[in-house]
Structures are given as structure tokens and as C-alpha cells.
Structure 1
Amino acid sequence: MSSEVAIEVQQLFKSYLIFEKPSHRLWQMLFRGRKNFYREHPVLKGVSFSVRRGETVGLIGRNGSGKSTLLQILCGVLEANAGSCDVKGRVAALLELGAGFNPEFTGRENIFMSGQIFGLTSEQIEERYQQIIEFADIGEYVLQPVKTYSSGMFMRLAFAVIAHVDADILVIDEALAVGDAYFVQKCMRYLRRFKESGGTLLFVSHDSSAVTALCDRAIWLHDGHVRVDAGPKQVTQAYLADMYHSVQGDRLDGVSQSARIKSERGGREDFVDARRDLVLASNLRNDLEVMAFDSHAEAFGKGGALITSVRFLNEDGNPLQWMVGGELVSLLVDVDILRPICNVIVGFLLKNKQGQSLFGDNTYLTYAGESLVCEAGEKLTAEFEFRMPILPAGEYAVSVAVSDGSQASHIIHQWIHEALIISSHASQVSTGLMGIPMKRIQLIRHSDNSGDT
């Protein structure tokens, strides 16, 4: 990471003028400031920070904290009332969906228009046009007016453009929230490559796990001020604590009024019993929908082996389209060997929507020291048996790979990024990135006078 500063913000102030009636705007013009018919709404109140070249900085904060206004000033869309903002390098921004697109133009026409706005020549855009439409993957819609696009298609095309304009600084404002799992994974891979190549990234998200995984630093904006500027873990933890405190305060949430009354009447043991009854009465469970194996999903590798099938089975060996967190399952990966391989390794990773690896395994860890030599034409199946963890609501991807070598040194013959998509349909079953299925949870009340329970 370079010590050179890419973005320098000093004492930035921005206010909007709020008029109670449309006619007040006209009166304000006529009185030329001798009388004010508006009230000022301050959004940024002396914001200062710097971003070094090659640094990835997350920007978090509640709605209305000033994040979008700050980004628009950095991109030159808005002017600040006071303060300075110095940005060095070509900036490509993905702010609100469709920004910079003409809704009447086709996707192709908007690609050329946006590319020229970012400083590319028509010849450069023509050279990159095929790569842009392949990245966007919107098919024949690229020749249709963008006013016919869904929000997801808008985001696909806009991101594809900024990914191919040779930007020094990328600014992304919560746009990935509308994408499907396949495309968001692709975008996150691009952002990691951009980061590794020395690009500067300013990333706005309400997803604390994405900020923690992607960013070197985080800035928490609160009511127009920089409240905390530190490591992403420290900032997201402080932000989460503040969010919980603002919602819950000092109240005891999660227990019904009847349980509280019973607690007051019957003592602590009755309170515990009442709370246990509430949990047992809940019908919440972690339902996981398993999509079909996508043999055409984005992949790479040397091509010495081909993954032909990926599927989940239950304990009876039946294919699963739905499963439950905590269920004993088997993940089977079928492989065709196309060229001789000295030591075959098959593995998998489960990733969340932001591309964070949650867990995985491979056959080398089990068969270390045992070389599995395969000849061309052979077929093999790798089976991984485990209890499915509890997954918070959202979409997840199973990546699979077959390689040759060892854990430390190997050649990838095929890596499929999103071989399977899993959609979790429960939101209140775990905290953190995933939950571990619990065999038993109990509360034991100890006597004050003895060790008896």
C-alpha cells in the first residue's frame, strides 16, 4: 500500500435549503437574500479524513448520516458549502442505480456515453465492448432501452462499465445490495483483484461482514460527523453496539409480557421455565433451498479434469432440494479425469453473498501422504459428510475444485465459483456469519447455600 494520499478531505460542510412551499423559492430569488424563506438542513458538519493510494476504506452509518452526500462531493456531482476535497486520479463511481445513464438510450449507447464520460476514447470503448457485455451478462437486453431494465440489470451494466475504464479510484454506494448471488460474487472477486492491483476503493455498505472482509479501514459517519475512524472490526463492532442500543435501550427484549409477570410472581425458576416455553413454542427453523448444479457457472483451471455434478444427499442417500440447518448431509462431487493426474485433490468452500469463505474441506486433508494417481478416462466421486451449519437469511454459494498436488503446492484443473446456490429462508436462527447446530442448551439454577442443582 502506497503512502501517497489519493483522497484528502478537510473540514467538509454541506447543507441543503428546505423550502416549506414551492412559491418560497421564487420569493427567495426576488428578495435576493434580504430575507430568508428557507431553513438550512446540515448534512455534513466538518468531515475530515484521508485515504492512501491502494487502501480500501469502508464507509458505514445510518440512513441520513451523510454518506451519499459525501460520495457525491468526492465524485464532483455536488459542491460543498465549505472545506476542501482533493481527489487524485481517475474516479469511477457506482452511486444510485442508473446514475449517468440515459433511460431512452440502449445499453450499448449508454456504454459508449459512460465510457467517454470516464475519459475513454471511442476506439478504447470499442476494444472493451465485448468484455463489458460479457461481464454484465444481460444478453440481448444490451440493445434495448435501459428504461426497460430491472434494478439488477441496471446494476450489472453500470458495474461492468466501471470495471473496464481503468479507474484509479472506485466509489461504490450500496449498489451491490440489489444484485443476485451469482453477479455479486463476480463483483466481489473483481473488487479483490482491483484492490490487489493497487486500486483505491471507497466502499459504502450496511453489511458489516462485507466491510470487515473487504476493507483495510472503516469510517463511521454519524449525524454528519466522523464518529470513529479505525480498523473495520473495531468500527463495525461499535456501530453494531450503537444500533442495538438505539433500538433496545436498557429494555429486556425477547421475553413476552406474560413471562415477565410470571417471573415477578413465581421467582427466577418460573421465569426460566416461561422463557423455555416461548422457545419451544417457536416454529422458527433454518430452511435451506438448494438450487441445481450449474455446469456453466464461471470457472477456471488447466482442464485436466472436469467436474460433472455437485449435489447434496440426505442420510438415506436421496438427493436434497431442501435441507435444514443441523441436518446430517453429504456433499458429492463427481469428476471426470481427462489427463493423467499424479495426486487428485477434490475440495469445496461455502461462501456467503460477499464472497467470504465460511467453511470447507478437501480430500488432501484426509488422505495426506496417500497419492491418488488417476489415468485419463477414469471417473471418481468425492463425498464430504457433515452437519449443515445454521445459516442466517440470504444466499450462499458452494465453490468446488479439483486439483493435482498437495495442500501447499497444487495445480487447479477446474475451479467452479458458484457450482451450487443455497438460499436460506430463516432470519432469526443464529448470530454471526453462521451458527453451529447445538446438541443441547440448558440453564441450571444453583442453590445459594449448597452445590445442589
Structure 2
Amino acid sequence: MGAIHVSGLGKAYKQYGSHAARVAEWVLPFCGPRHKLQWVLRDINFQVASGESVGLIGINGAGKSTLLKLITGTTLATTGAVATSGRVAALLELGMGFHPDFSGRQNAVMAGQLLGLSNAEIAELMPQIEAFADIGDYIDQPVRVYSSGMQMRLAFSVATARRPDVLIVDEALSVGDAYFQHKSFERIRQFRRDGTTLLLVSHDKQAIQTVCDRAILLDGGRLAQQGKPEQIMDYYNALIAERENQTVRLRELAGGKVQTVSGTGEASVTDIALLDADGASVEVIDVGSAVTLRVTVMAWAPIPRMVLGYMIKDRLGQPMYGTNTHLKELALEHVGAGQKVVYRFQFPMNLGPGTYSVATAIVSTETHLVNNYEWRDLALVFTVMNMRRPHFEGSAWLDPSIEIDQT
């Protein structure tokens, strides 16, 4: 079984003021260094246990790709150490290690050898590699004529032809078509069920939350947060919106869940409730029942244009449904300081049984990346139960009428 242990890991690159300084340091080493260290990663500590799946997220430049190169040994660390156990397969930079003038088949053989497979094993696995990559006659064409998606297909097929103990996947899968992404993630899920340890880099919130047990957030080359995927993805989204004024706040709720709140604070949600058909506040609702989501917003400063949005998420943080008053063409103009606004969203609760949460956002457009007055996850938690409907599976109540013709 595979595991990853990262301790005090750091990576720095030398920066010289000029080419002359670089030459002088090489020719006259006894005169002292003539460079400065530019740290890309610093003091990274975490473990990935055997069979665990961990997502690695962060904005571009946070150090994610460098960290993966250090873990796989393609780059040497400046400080600290990495220990891995078991057979490791990695998909880092797209087509990394492929020779453009060799055919896909030749590159597959070389890549397999680098993974520690014998020629006999590669020959045995080649039909499976060809079938999964599904690039047809291009398998015998030079890789230089491949699209980025074809390179990714072949690289993933080779790396996962035999189940590894540790699988490390960078953003490479994001360039594939929807069908291949679905097929790839299904293989990753099967590996997980079979005990493979997974380290996945992705900006895809759904992928992180459905595949991973835990998530790690890198920010500025340091480990900023780690915890449950939903919590870390909420913090990451808030961090993107607030990267200039850094107003992200974390608060632990009853039950141990961590709520992320961000924004300027010029407006805020002061009350939120789910009401039944009689107008009573409820925490448990029957499948298909009519409900009203009532949200009270207070403007603490003049707001030129105010939009309220909400997102209903399941217990894993996956979005079930979301909308806002901009999309509904009901944005409010020139809301004055001290003004209270009560919103009522009425809809049938056509969700499957389970626990759900509501996130709210007070913004000026359809996105929280422009003016983020307040963005709050876990603003409300409620439970849906099936008390009157026939049993069904899934996260939505889509009861059909059925017609059957027999001849």
C-alpha cells in the first residue's frame, strides 16, 4: 500500500542580478554568494495515509506543480524531505517525457519502462492502453501531430494501465473532452475502491468534493488550510474573491462544521429561514413540499446595486441549485444605508432525502468576484425526508408519468 509523508519541505531558486554575477560566483566561489533565494515553497508538512484521497488546490503560482515535482522526485528540494511507499504513478505536465518524433506506441513503451514495467508486461497491457486512450490510428503516428487532448489520453492510459499504489494527478485531465474525463474519473474512483492512495490537483470543485477525503490549500508557497473538501473549497472561493482586502473569516458552528464568511461587510444577511406552506419556520421538510426561503439583508452603507444569490448544496458541498436576483432581473438599485430588505424565494422542495445547506451571496452582479459585500456558506442547514412519496433513488424528485404500449 502507498503513502506520502512530507516534512519541512521547501524549494528555492537562485536569482542573480546579472549574468556577470552568476559567472563570478562560479569562478570565485570563495568570495561568497552573489545571488538571492526566491522561495517557491516553504515549510510544507502533511501526510497522505494509505488508501486516502487528498485534493491539492490553490491559485496559479501557489506552488502546486512544484510540490508535485518534489514529491515525485523530478525536482530536488532545498529543505525538508519526502517519503513515499509503494509504486507511484504520476501525471504532471501534459505529455511530460514524451518524445515528439516517436510514435504514441513507442512513447507508451518508454513511459511504461519508466514506471517499472517489463517489456513483457507492456506488451501484455498495450491492447488495454490502446483501447482506453481511444485515439485510433494515431497510436502509430508521431506525438508531435497529437492535440493536447490526445496526449493526455495516452499519458493517462499508460500511467493507469496497472493500478498503482499511489496515483498523483495534476490539472492534466482538464484538457480532455467530457466523455474521457468521465471515463478517467471512473477509473480513479475504481482505484480508490481498490485501495490506491490519491493526490489530485484540480480547480474543479465537484471533482475535489466527490473524489477526495480531505483537501489542502496552498497560498503563496505555504500550506494555508487543510480539512474537509467542502470547507477548504469554500475558503478557497472566498480567498479568490477577497485576494485584495483579505476579509475572509472562519467560524466553527455547532456540530463541528466550519463556516466561511467573506466580503466588505457593507451589507449582510441578518436572518435566514426556511418556511413551510403555513409560514412556520422548519428544519425538516417533506420531499416535494412547497417552501419559502426567507432571507433578510441589512445594508450598512449605500449600495449602488444589490444582488442576492443563494446556492443549495448537499452534504458533500455539491451544488444542487443556485440562482440570484440578477439572473431573475430583480436587482435593486441605490439601496440606502440602514435599509432592510426581505427576500422570499418560493419553490417546491424537489430534492431527495438528505441534509442540505444554503450559501448566500450579496453582490453587485451575477458573480462575487466584482463587488463582494458578503459571501456566507452554511448560512442555513436543513433536512429533507420522504414522508409521503413512493421510494426513489437520487438527489432530485423527478417523478414521471409512465405510458406503456404492449402489442
Q: Does TM, normalized by the shorter one, top 0.5?
A: yes
Establish whether residue 250 from structure 1 lines up as the match of residue 264 from structure 2: yes
Deviation, 1:267, is 9.8
Establish whether residue 114 from structure 1 lines up as the match of residue 128 from structure 2: no
Q: Which runs of 5+ in 1 are unaligned?
A: 273-277, 281-346, 350-356, 380-453
TM-score calculated relative to the size of structure 2:
0.62
Q: Is the 8 A contact 1:132 1:160 kept in 2?
A: yes
Deviation, 1:148, is 1.2
Q: 1:259 to 1:215 in 2, by over 3 A?
A: closer
Establish whether residue 134 from structure 1 lines up as the match of residue 117 from structure 2: no
TM-score calculated relative to the size of structure 1:
0.56
Q: 1:361 to 1:161 in 2, by over 3 A?
A: farther
Q: What stretches of structure 1 move > 4 A for 4+ residues in a row?
A: 256-260, 264-270, 357-363
Q: Distance in 2 between matches of 1:61 and 1:161?
A: 27
Q: 1:259 to 1:225 in 2, by over 3 A?
A: closer
Q: Is the 8 A contact 2:16 2:36 kept in 1?
A: yes
Establish whether residue 40 from structure 1 lines up as the match of residue 40 from structure 2: no
Q: Deviations over 1:103-144 (max 9, x none)?
A: 111100000000000000111000110110110111111111
Q: 1:269 to 1:12 in 2, by over 3 A?
A: closer
- Counterpart residue type for residue 150 of structure 1: S
Q: 1:179 aligns with which of 176, 180, 191?
A: 176
Q: 1:98 aligns with which of 91, 95, 100?
A: 95
Q: Distance in 1 between matches of 2:162 and 2:213?
A: 24
Computing the radius of gyration from Cα coordinates, the structure with the larger value is 1
Deviation, 1:19, is 2.9
Deviation, 1:179, is 0.8
Q: Is the 8 A contact 2:216 2:227 kept in 1?
A: yes
Establish whether residue 67 from structure 1 lines up as the match of residue 64 from structure 2: yes
Q: 1:53 to 1:36 in 2, by over 3 A?
A: same
Q: Is the 8 A contact 1:118 1:165 kept in 2?
A: no
Where do residues 90-239 of structure 1 align in structure 2 (5 Å cutoff)?
Answer: 90-239=87-236
Deviation, 1:22, is 3.9
Q: 1:240 to 1:279 in 2, by over 3 A?
A: closer
Q: Distance in 1 between matches of 2:365 and 2:16?
A: 51
Q: 1:96 to 1:132 in 2, by over 3 A?
A: same
Q: 1:263 aligns with which of 310, 334, 339?
A: 334
Deviation, 1:31, is 2.1
- Counterpart residue type for residue 51 of structure 1: V
Q: Deviations over 1:55-113 (max 9, x none)?
A: 10001111121111111011010111111211001111100101111111110000000
Task: Give percent identity, aligned residues only.
Answer: 40
Q: Distance in 1 between matches of 2:73 and 2:337?
A: 64
Establish whether residue 31 from structure 1 lines up as the match of residue 28 from structure 2: yes
Q: Distance in 2 between matches of 1:84 and 1:139?
A: 42
Deviation, 1:21, is 3.5
Q: Is the 8 A contact 1:151 1:178 kept in 2?
A: yes
Q: Is the 8 A contact 1:120 1:165 kept in 2?
A: no
Q: Is the 8 A contact 2:104 2:138 kept in 1?
A: yes
Secondary structure at the aligned position of 1:164 is classed as coil
Alignment size in residue pairs = 285
Deviation, 1:269, is 10
Q: Distance in 1 between matches of 2:338 and 2:187?
A: 57
Report the aligned-residue RMSD.
3.5
Secondary structure at the aligned position of 1:246 is classed as coil
Q: Deviations over 1:399-430 (max 9, x none)?
A: xxxxxxxxxxxxxxxxxxxxxxxxxxxxxxxx
Deviation, 1:362, is 7.7
Q: Distance in 2 between matches of 1:56 and 1:110?
A: 29
Q: Distance in 1 between matches of 2:219 and 2:66?
A: 13
- Counterpart residue type for residue 116 of structure 2: G
Q: Distance in 1 between matches of 2:207 and 2:160?
A: 19
Q: Distance in 2 between matches of 1:279 and 1:77?
A: 44
- Counterpart residue type for residue 170 of structure 2: D
Q: Deviations over 1:261-319 (max 9, x none)?
A: x738999699x9xxxxx989xxxxxxxxxxxxxxxxxxxxxxxxxxxxxxxxxxxxxxx
Secondary structure at the aligned position of 1:212 is classed as helix
Q: Which runs of 5+ in 2 are unaligned?
A: 246-262, 268-301, 307-332, 344-363, 367-391
Q: 1:33 to 1:52 in 2, by over 3 A?
A: farther
Deviation, 1:182, is 0.6
Q: Is the 8 A contact 2:2 2:196 kept in 1?
A: no
Please identify which structure carries the higher strand content: 2
Q: Is the 8 A contact 1:5 1:50 kept in 2?
A: no
Q: Distance in 2 between matches of 1:123 and 1:29?
A: 47
Deviation, 1:251, is 8.0
